[in-house]
């Protein structure tokens, strides 16, 4: 039996060795970080080290970082009560708090008219399409972009941003809200006043330790050019797919906006995305038909629909997302296996 190939890095990433080691070490720290005795101070020190690591990797100050359970919680904490505008291509975690009134063109470009009242993603999780961030945004979703492309919170001039540990090699169940100095938020979880009074509840010391180590390692990978190699593999993948698919639409591939270096989204009209995902799963490849947070919901992608694809095409897309552990042989095998399935689809449709 051939080994399985994981090509769904935008959904979640393998745990980095550095994160695993930091988490194992944190498991042996006994104290509650809110306690004033030595054991409590040791637990608090784990959190503050991780806060400094995340801040350095995100181009922020440690005091800007609020640890939360996920980017979704970070969005709720940063957006509640703000009455902002966003576009239909935003992740559901952000779109749930905004009016969705901003226009999107066929390339996925969002028309921002008032940055101070706008929430905007740096990169789309389904298509990989990246936005040019205007200065002074109210809110930036950096969840998919952080660790793959250069990002510094201070560059944006934004009020707030979110990141999620499991998107860059950290554990699931921990994320961070970044806040502009001097800006405060109304706590949505109240109690003991942890996280500078912004998010109560005993901190997830183990998860936070893993997030800090992963952020530090992710920044190192980016500086070392790891994602440039990933981009080369993505291009090899798409070249292989194009050679066997004459009716497939590659979203964002030839547009004027940049894409994440690891992401390829393509639609073969009439060949449903979930059918492709199942066929490739049986062939030994893990890919997706859109945002993992929408799993189990069989419907056309609202992101692709907002970009102007019709219902048939928008329901026929899959996303392949690579990572630093992806090998050339993995993408070549995928292109071959997908091409064989695409030929069968065309034969059935003839």
DSSP per-residue string spanning 161-190: EEEEGGGTTS-TT-EEEEE-TT-----SS-
Percent of the chain with pLDDT over 90: 89
Quick one: pLDDT at residue 244?
75
The CA distance from 226 to 264, in Å, is: 18
Of 216-220, 225-229, 269-273, 299-303, minimum mean pLDDT range? 299-303
The domain made up of 5-12+225-349 is a member of CATH 3.90.1150.10: yes
Could you identify the residue written with the tokens 């793959």? 148
The CA distance from 101 to 117, in Å, is: 12
Q: How far is CA 302 from each of CA 20, 94, 298, rounded to the nearest angstrom?
A: 36, 14, 12
The CA distance from 163 to 165, in Å, is: 7
Dump pLDDT digits (tens) for 2-31. Answer: 799 999 999 999 999 999 999 999 999 999
Residue 245 — pLDDT band, cuts 50, 70, 90? Answer: confident
Residue 246 — pLDDT band, cuts 50, 70, 90? Answer: confident
In whole angstroms, how large is the CA radius of gyration of the chain? Answer: 21
Could you identify the residue written with the tokens 């004027």? 256
Structure letter (DSSP) for residue 269:
T
Dump pLDDT digits (tens) for 270-326. Answer: 999 999 999 999 999 999 996 655 555 556 899 999 999 999 999 999 999 999 999
Dump pLDDT digits (tens) for 193-208. Answer: 999 989 999 999 999 9
**What's the token pair of residue 347?**
């034969």
Q: Which residues are catalytically annotated?
A: 293
- Is the pLDDT higher at 100 or at 47? 47
| Fold topology of 17-223 | 3.40.640
Residue extents of the structural domains in the chain:
5-12+225-349, 17-223
Torsion of CA 134, 136, 142, 148, to 10 degrees: 50
Quick one: pLDDT at residue 292?
55
Residue 243 — pLDDT band, cuts 50, 70, 90? Answer: confident
Quick one: pLDDT at residue 317?
97
The CA distance from 136 to 146, in Å, is: 19
């Amino acid at each position: 039996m051939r080994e399985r190939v994981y090509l769904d890095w935008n959904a979640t990433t393998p745990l980095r060795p550095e994160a695993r080691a930091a988490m194992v070490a944190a498991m042996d720290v006994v104290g509650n970080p809110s306690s004033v005795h030595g054991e409590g101070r040791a637990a608090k020190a784990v959190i503050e080290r991780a806060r400094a690591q995340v801040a350095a990797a995100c181009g922020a100050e440690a005091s800007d970082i609020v640890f939360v359970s996920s980017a979704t919680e970070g969005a709720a904490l940063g957006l509640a009560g703000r009455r902002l505008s966003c576009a239909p291509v935003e992740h559901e975690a952000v779109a749930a708090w905004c009016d969705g009134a901003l226009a999107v063109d066929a390339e996925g470009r969002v028309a921002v008219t008032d940055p101070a009242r706008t929430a905007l993603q740096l990169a789309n999780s389904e298509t990989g399409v990246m936005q040019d961030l205007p200065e002074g945004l109210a809110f930036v979703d950096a969840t998919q972009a952080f660790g793959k492309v250069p990002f510094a919170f201070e560059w944006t001039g934004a009020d707030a941003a979110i990141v999620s540990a499991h998107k860059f090699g950290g554990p699931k169940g921990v994320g961070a809200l970044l806040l502009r100095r001097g800006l405060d938020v109304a706590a949505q979880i109240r109690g003991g006043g942890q996280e500078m009074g912004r998010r109560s509840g005993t901190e997830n010391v183990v998860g936070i330790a893993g997030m800090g180590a992963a952020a530090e390692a992710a920044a190192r990978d980016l500086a070392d050019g790891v994602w440039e190699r990933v981009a080369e593999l993505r291009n090899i993948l798409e070249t292989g797919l194009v050679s066997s698919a004459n009716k497939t639409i590659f979203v964002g591939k030839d547009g004027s906006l940049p894409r994440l270096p690891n992401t390829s989204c393509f639609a073969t009209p009439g060949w449903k995305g979930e059918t492709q995902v199942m066929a490739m799963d049986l062939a030994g490849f893990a890919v997706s038909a859109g945002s993992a947070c929408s799993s189990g919901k069989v419907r056309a992608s609202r992101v692709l629909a907002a970009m102007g694809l019709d219902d048939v095409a928008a329901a026929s897309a899959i996303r392949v997302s690579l990572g630093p552990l992806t090998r050339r042989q993995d993408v070549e095998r995928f292109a071959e296996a997908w091409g064989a399935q695409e030929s069968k689809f065309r034969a059935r449709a003839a």
